[in-house]
Amino acid sequence: MDSQLFLNIVVLPVLLILGIATSREDLRISRINNLFIATGLIFALGLYALALTGHTLDALGILKLTRAEALHDFVWDIDKWAVNLIVSAVVAYTLWRKEAWGAGDAKLFIVYASLIPMCQYPVVYFHHYFASFFLLLAIFIPASVYVLLISVGPILRQAATERGNLTRALLCSKIRLFYQRRGEVVKLAIGLVDVFLLTQLLRAGLGRRPSVVWLDQNMIFYLMLLGFRRIEPLFLRNFKITLACFIGLLAAFAVFSPFASSFVLKLGGATGRSVLFLIVYRIAKIVIRFFAEKSEKHKIPFAPWMFLGALITWFGSPLMRFFR
């Protein structure tokens, strides 16, 4: 029995049962029973403990297993699985504290992170030490698209009511896409360009070291989205510092980039990412605010989206591979 067949026979049914049961309960009564959480977590921890014990005994020659290769593939990265589980718990707790999801959803995310082995992640982040970042994306991106679709109409209707007509509302929404003052957009854009240029410079200096994975431009983009609420005031209050950093980074790139075309491409890439970031962040704030208001009134269940994210992760949906 190979490792994939072992996972499909032993782990996948538990994941499916857990996902269906928690989704059904969340849809019916807007809560997740702790019994499901405890059962899934105990199963995952017990399975890894048994697999590790069996693999160790087989390696020492104490107990000979006929299908030991399945256990070997299952436990070869158990250290990364353990670190990923701890990091996932910290992230889940943080999102709960930020009121991004409920306590039951946070605990369910931890259970999914414990059930999904490292080999099932189609895209790897942080050298597997937070592999569940892909699971997080697979949960939030489909949910965000859904919320965006159901929120566009009410947001525009509300804006039209406040401003008199829909055309004017659309025009005002487009003009005020970023922030009320254009100066703020410029300050934030320069601060973001600083971040993206600095990470490019550090990546070039570090070469192929393992730590360079933390400086991936897309990774910085995602992490900044999570913490930009705290970073935004720093960019606005310390514009002289960010401007000085911007000039210093331009000088550094001018020195270290042998060709002007390379320098222009890097600056253009950083500027494009910064503009895209501001658009995505602004839209996300509007959608999240609407989603929070709608959730408070109608208790929108989140467990089905978590189950969908777990399925996308397990089966490696090609739709998510562009995050590589």
Amino acid 39: pLDDT: 93
**Would you list the domain boundaries of the chain?**
3-115, 145-314
Could you tell me the CA-to-CA distances from 46 to 25, 38, 41 in Å, in that order? Answer: 25, 12, 8
List phi, psi (to 5°) of 317. -55, 130
Q: Annotate 204-263 with DSSP letters as a single string.
A: HHHTT-GGGGGG-HHHHHHHHHHHHHHHHHHHHHTHHHHHHHHHHHHHHHHHH-SSHHHH
Report pLDDT for 178.
46
DSSP string for residues in 113-164: HHHS-GGG-SS--GGGTTTHHHHHHHHHHHHHHHHHHHHHHHHHHHHHHHHS
Spatial contact of 159 and 172, defined as CB atoms under 8 Å apart: yes
| Block residue for tokens 């996948």 | 12
**pLDDT reported for residue 21:** 94
- State the helix-helix crossing angle for 217-237 and 182-206, rounded to 10 degrees: 140
Q: In this structure, what token pair is assigned to residue 135?
A: 């699971």
Give pLDDT, residue 287.
Answer: 61
Q: Give which of 214, 12, 263, 250 is closest to 119, Cα–Cα.
A: 12
The answer to whether residues 291 and 151 touch, using CB atoms and an 8 Å cutoff, is yes
Q: What pLDDT is stored for residue 171 in this prediction?
A: 47
Q: Is the dihedral of CA 144, 147, 151, 153 positive or negative?
A: positive
pLDDT of residue 98: 74
Tell me the mean pLDDT per 10 residues along the chain, length 324: 72 92 89 91 89 69 58 70 90 82 89 89 76 87 77 61 51 47 78 83 62 62 74 84 86 67 74 83 69 55 90 72 47
Residue 19: the pLDDT is 93
- Which pLDDT does position 167 carry in this prediction? 52
Alpha carbon distances (Å) from 95 to 23, 41, 98, 119, 127: 20, 20, 5, 26, 22
**Six-digit token string for 315:** 């089966």
